[in-house]
Amino acid sequence: MKNSIETKRILATSLKELMKTKSFEKISIRELTDNAGVNRQTFYYHFEDIYDLLKWTFQQEALQLLAAHESVNVWQEGLLQLFHYLDENREFSTCALRSLGRSHLKRFFYTDIYNIIGRVVSEFGEKLHAPKDYMSFLTHFFTVSLASLVESWLMGEMDETPEKLIEMIDLFIQDQLRGSKLRIEQQ
Q: Could you please report the per-residue DSSP string of 56-114? A: HHHIIIIIHHHHTT-STTTHHHHHHHHHHHHHHTHHHHHHHHHHHHHHHHHHHHHHHHH
- What value does the mean pLDDT take over residues 40-52? 93
Q: How much is the pLDDT for 107? A: 63
Q: Spell out the domain ranges in the chain.
A: 50-186
State yes or no: pLDDT of 72 exceeds 60: no
Q: How much is the pLDDT for 182? A: 80
State yes or no: pLDDT of 9 exceeds 90: yes
If pLDDT is split at 50, 70 and 90, which confidence band does 31 have?
very high
Is residue 15 helix, strand or coil?
helix
Round to whole Å and give the CA distance between 171 and 178: 10
Contacts of 105 (CB under 8 A, 6+ apart): 96, 97, 147, 151
Q: How much is the pLDDT for 108? A: 59
Of 21, 126, 34, the C-alpha closest to 71 is 126
Q: How much is the pLDDT for 74? A: 62
102-135 pLDDT tens trace = 666 666 567 767 777 787 777 777 777 778 888 8
74-93 pLDDT tens trace = 677 777 887 888 888 888 88
In whole numbers, what is the pLDDT of the chain averaged over residues?
Answer: 82
Region class of 49: left (phi > 0), else alpha (psi between -120 and 50), else beta:
beta
State yes or no: pLDDT of 61 exceeds 80: no
CATH class of the domain comprising 50-186: mainly alpha
Q: Exposure of 20 by Cβ count < 10 A (0-12 exposed, 13-18 middle, 19+ buried)?
A: exposed
Is residue 160 helix, strand or coil?
coil
